[in-house]
Structure 1
């Protein structure tokens, strides 16, 4: 049983606990290993092929993570601060529940100027990177971004006109979710000054975190009984110190994140599910639908959205390539890149015979090479993945 995203409610074919026989029947896939330290370009790559997601991992060319670097500590919330959202209409019940959008406003503090030249007219864009689920592991994120040359020793943007997309799930389970959000917001401002950008998708844990802050223990209706956002957030690794430090500018930024994006032919999603198709036939329609829901709908509609984006494993097995094609046909692109489902669960290699933590060489390519999984399982002693696209 995967511990990811547990919630009160019925199980679904691609969501929630999985029986071990299901985890054993997996598609052929490819592991991509990141570039070793010291290589200036991303031309180096090595692949390990594995039948049924088998664990034939390569140890060579696998660099040490390196030393983490400190950045500015996040500001603590004012004493007695309680994050709130504006009053909304009363919730309207929806039946049949299955149980996270451009960057927000500028930082409250002035952003320092950086000595980057402005892009010339018609100048090509910089390289594209994606970051898997962080889940509050701030030090691991700093170390990996530093290892990739995307931030400097002081934790500031060092990637020039590069482009970075975070695939969602900043908080819960790890020690400093608010610190992760603060760092991403800081890098977004610094990247813009350099002619690049740092953007992020909304994951299901963003929906859960915002729901816990807004609705607390207010009951939500489900076919399995009554639950609440706060209870589900705690069950899924919610950290009280993150909720205590959540401020209005965090809420504003998180609430405006897109649910889906298309970049250089890569369809970027948080969740490996086709539930996005239930919110629109185009990327703008999906993002507008999620934004409208967060702004105007009630607790039950919000809960339903959270649970739909908590589904997983849609791209595995014989039907996986067809599920990917459904998304690509609707939204464009030639390959899906997603987080959400940790690679050790996706490949069925979560438990080693010797009890050792899972070893993740890099992103996992599967579903006839149509899908790239980026959640390296940092919450289970795996790896926080940062990769340059295309893989």
Structure 2
């Protein structure tokens, strides 16, 4: 097991890889080093027009339709009467600190071998909490729900905002093919590195705005923890999602295990979870795995709402997109919508132990390594579709063994790593360990 993700508790016998390979057995694979980003062809993909396919059950629509209803004016209202605009942020539960390292399987685990108790800021004490409150009064839309509609005045179309960014590409016409697909590996709070790589690929301009027209981007999860500005990363992705839609493309994201951990720390705080390794909590595990207090302090209700509705799995142009290189997705459903609805339902209605179990399952890794790797890949592809898996989660230096270099130099990561009989593409370039933050255009040959 790598030290990349540490958490207390027993192993789940039915979670993660069906066959646990020897982690010292390296996969046979190759690096893909792309050419510099070419100019974006407005109506082609690799020089050919084609019909694209996207399927993610995105946003858990079926679950939301079952659990949310609209008021008389069409505003979305929760069963308890709270509008989405005022969805409560998760309050911390419990005020007690936790013993330094208590209940953990070992006392070390950072990439440089430093013990957790030797790390600055890890003293086992509560560092302040984020305790948002609900508004004193419901929104005006909810206050007038059920009354007679007020008279309306036709004001005509809104005036354009002169400060709003403009986009060089028009919206696609009927029957026009979609743009190319890009995937982004684990970011982990490294906002400036993300901006630099997106700019290098021609996906954003010098001011950080979408410049890719009808291109499609999928982030593979893990926006926060370890790096300096996880909330800044989330804000940028949400911004690009809106700008891409206006330009005829889209920017979407998967839920990673660190999204589950971050949301759990915000919702449950120090509330104990079921663990045979001693008292543990989401907040303790989040800190142990690089959680940044600055991110938790800036977490707002709209961040929580957006993160909670991210899909866990998606299919894009024959590529099965996952965050984690694990078969644990099979335990949540036999179709993409079923998996996404199950995870969204758990986040909405599940208790702390169900959240914890989900987090631990999606923290499993290395299912596609070794001799049994292609079999595990086929098991997922046969169930959910697609011809190749693209994933993040496990840093490429761990997959290839480059992390064990004895020369003291950072690992060399020229690009995505293709392995498991060329059925799997790893996209976590190990930005947290002086590797690279990877952005790549599909397909990868």
State the TM-score, normalizing by the size of structure 2.
Answer: 0.71
CA shift in 2, pair 1:304/1:237, >3 Å:
same
Supply the distance in 2 between the matched residues of 1:323 and 1:85 (Cα, whole angstroms).
45
- Alpha carbons 1:208, 1:233 under 8 Å: kept: yes
Q: Secondary structure at the match of 2:63?
A: coil
Aligned residues: 385
The offset of 1:82, in angstroms, is: 2.4
Supply the distance in 1 between the matched residues of 2:51 and 2:237 (Cα, whole angstroms).
27
The offset of 1:2, in angstroms, is: 2.2
CA shift in 2, pair 1:101/1:82, >3 Å:
farther
| 2:377 paired residue number | 324
Supply the distance in 1 between the matched residues of 2:239 and 2:292 (Cα, whole angstroms).
22
CA shift in 2, pair 1:200/1:50, >3 Å:
closer
| 2:53 paired residue number | 47
- Alpha carbons 1:52, 1:347 under 8 Å: kept: no
Per-residue Cα deviation, 1:211-266 (whole angstroms, up to 9, x for no partner): 00000000000233331000000000000000000000000000000000000000
Deviation larger for 107-116 or 128-137? 107-116
- Alpha carbons 2:213, 2:249 under 8 Å: kept: yes
CA shift in 2, pair 1:91/1:352, >3 Å:
farther
Supply the distance in 1 between the matched residues of 2:247 and 2:141 (Cα, whole angstroms).
45
- Alpha carbons 1:5, 1:16 under 8 Å: kept: no
RMSD between superposed Cα atoms in Å: 13.7
Which one has a bigger Cα radius of gyration? 2
Supply the distance in 1 between the matched residues of 2:352 and 2:203 (Cα, whole angstroms).
39
| 1:77 paired residue number | none
- Alpha carbons 1:31, 1:49 under 8 Å: kept: no
**Runs (5+) with no aligned partner, structure 2:** 45-49, 78-85, 89-128
- Alpha carbons 1:136, 1:180 under 8 Å: kept: yes
Per-residue Cα deviation, 1:122-162 (whole angstroms, up to 9, x for no partner): 00000000000000000000000000000000000000000
Per-residue Cα deviation, 1:274-313 (whole angstroms, up to 9, x for no partner): 0000000000000000000000010000000000000000
Supply the distance in 2 between the matched residues of 1:360 and 1:60 (Cα, whole angstroms).
45
- Alpha carbons 1:338, 1:374 under 8 Å: kept: yes
- Alpha carbons 1:32, 1:47 under 8 Å: kept: no
The offset of 1:10, in angstroms, is: 2.8
Supply the distance in 2 between the matched residues of 1:73 and 1:93 (Cα, whole angstroms).
13
Supply the distance in 2 between the matched residues of 1:314 and 1:101 (Cα, whole angstroms).
60
- Alpha carbons 2:16, 2:367 under 8 Å: kept: no
**Runs (5+) with no aligned partner, structure 1:** 75-79
Supply the distance in 2 between the matched residues of 1:55 and 1:349 (Cα, whole angstroms).
42
Supply the distance in 2 between the matched residues of 1:277 and 1:100 (Cα, whole angstroms).
51
- Alpha carbons 2:221, 2:259 under 8 Å: kept: yes
CA shift in 2, pair 1:101/1:328, >3 Å:
farther
CA shift in 2, pair 1:302/1:192, >3 Å:
same
Supply the distance in 1 between the matched residues of 2:71 and 2:182 (Cα, whole angstroms).
18
Q: Secondary structure at the match of 2:267?
A: helix
Runs of 4+ residues over 6 Å off in structure 1: 12-21, 37-74, 84-94, 96-111
CA shift in 2, pair 1:22/1:154, >3 Å:
same
State the TM-score, normalizing by the size of structure 1.
Answer: 0.80
- Alpha carbons 2:58, 2:310 under 8 Å: kept: no
The offset of 1:9, in angstroms, is: 1.6
The offset of 1:26, in angstroms, is: 1.6
